[in-house]
Amino acid sequence: MDPGLLAQFVANGLMLGMMYALVAVGFTLFFGVLDIIKFSHGDVLTVGTFAGFAVYLGLQAIGATNPWLQVVAVLLVATGAMAILGALIAKYIVMPLKSAPPLNILLVTLMLGTVLRECVRLFFPDGANPKRFPSLLPHDAVALGSFNLRLDSVLLFLGGLAVVVAIHVLINRTKLGLAIRAVAQDEETAKTMGINFTLIVLVTFALGSAAAAFAGVMNGLYYNEINFGMGLLLGVIGFSAAIVGGLGNIYGAILGGFLFAALQTIGAVALPFASAYKDVFAFAVVIAIMAWRPTGLIAEKTSARV
């Protein structure tokens, strides 16, 4: 295969993988900290993206048309608003149900996700139709043989990478991260050690939701389109990626995200007549991996005290 072509496939796969990874990181954080699956995550992504879009429309209306200013403003508002929304969901819906069977929380958050999605569809003006998200990043492209390298794709990828690295640094090198890891490991002991459990949970939810909002805006900038159902598939794929990688482990989530994107790309390329079945292929491989390694590729380390 022509190297330029291969490079193009790899580049496409990397972009997709980055977006899935950001969503998967959210799922994994929530599970790690509270042992719950928050299924409204994908729809929080949608709400965040639409919030960012609304900011863009507002800025256009008041005449602030500098694209860099717009990008920064959109990102700040989207991530900030979703951080708050995530924390609210944690405080009022998830925490009160903490002692309920995990299935209940999954169902409640699934329903919440539907409510969020339908709210966007009904209350955002003309919400049922896809919207054209502006391409705020520079368009310049470099053609290296048959490989078309676009500056905006590079910037988006680097941005996503920066967020992932930032989360990694936060979790592993800061006191806050230490507290999060402590809570994830053992809630009771963490509380005994003086960690403010509720605060840590709220911060974790805020963090995961902000990452999702970032992924959503990235999605909007990359495809130049947003619609009220965008969170659905991203949520399902992000969830699968988190599980395949190993729920509770951030590296697992990232690995899972890139793995899923790779599977989709391979499916679209290698299966000759069945590019329509690439999702079937990708999910089938995920099922096979789960059968082989039920706790995910990077299993959560559990040690038993004898």
Partner 1 sequence: MKVARKLFASAAALALGVGLAAGSAAAAKKEVKVVFIGPLTGGVSVNGLGGRNSADLAVRLRNADPKAKYKYEMVVLDDECKPNVGVQVATKAAADRAIIAGATHYCSAVAIGTVDTYHKFGLPVVVWGAVLPDITYGNDYKEIHRVNGTMINQNEVNAKFSTGQGFKKFAVIHDTTDYGKGHNKYFSEYLGKNGGKIVGTFGVTADQQDFNAELTQIKSLNVDAIYFGGLTPIGVRIRSQMDKLGIKAQLVGTSGIVSDAFIEGLGPLAEGVLAFREGAPVEKLPGGKFFMQKYAEAKYAESPEAYGAFAFAAMSLILDTIERVGPDRKKVTAALGKVKNVDSIVGKISFDDHGQNTVAAITKYVAQDGKWVVWEDSEYATGKRKLAGR
Residues of this chain that bind partner 1 (CB under 8 A)? 2, 5, 8-9, 12, 15-16, 121, 128-130, 132, 141, 143, 146, 148, 150, 153, 223-225, 227, 229-230, 233, 264-265, 267-269, 273-276, 278-279
For partner 1, give the closer residue by CB, 177 or 229.
Answer: 229
Query: With respect to partner 1, which residue has the nearer C-beta, 195 or 266?
Result: 266
Give 178 or 276: the residue with its C-beta nearer to partner 1. Answer: 276
DSSP state of 294: T
Minimum separation from the CB atom of position 9 to partner 1 (A): 6
Residue (of 162, 158, 164) closest to 137 by Cα position: 158
Closest contact distance (angstroms) between CB of 90 and partner 1 is 29
Tell me whether residue 273 or residue 292 sits nearer to partner 1 (CB atom).
273
Local structure of 229: helix, strand or coil: coil
Residues in the chain: 306
The closest alpha carbon to 300, from 103, 37, 28, belongs to 28
- Angle between the N-to-C axes of helices 197-223 and 230-245, in degrees from 0 to 180, rounded to the nearest 10: 120
- Rounded CA-CA distance 255/241 in Å is 8
Cβ distance to partner 1 smaller for residue 102 or 127: 127
For the bound state, the minimum distance from the C-beta of residue 190 to partner 1, rounded and expressed in Å, comes to: 40
Compute the distance between CA of residue 213 and CA of residue 51 in angstroms, rounded to an integer.
9
Min separation Cβ 233 and partner 1, Å: 7
Identity of the residue, 259 or 268, whose beta carbon is nearer to partner 1 in the bound complex = 268
HSE (CB half, 13 Å, CA atoms) of 127?
19
Nearest approach in angstroms of CB 40 to partner 1 is 20
Query: Do 222 and 156 touch, CB atoms closer than 8 A?
Result: yes
- Residue 301, classed as helix, strand or coil, is coil
Tell me which amino acid residue 87 is. A
Q: For the CB of residue 74, give the shortest distance to partner 1 in the complex, in Å.
A: 19
Q: How far is the CB of 225 from partner 1 (least distance, A)?
A: 6
- 143: three-class secondary structure by DSSP: strand
Q: Which residue, 40 or 153, has its beta carbon nearer to partner 1?
A: 153
Q: How many CB atoms lie within 10 A of CB 93?
A: 16
H or E element that contains 74: helix 67-89
Find the shortest distance in angstroms from Cβ 75 to partner 1.
21
SS3 194: coil
Residue 220's identity, in one-letter code, is G
**Residue nearer to partner 1 on the CB measure, 223 or 283:** 223
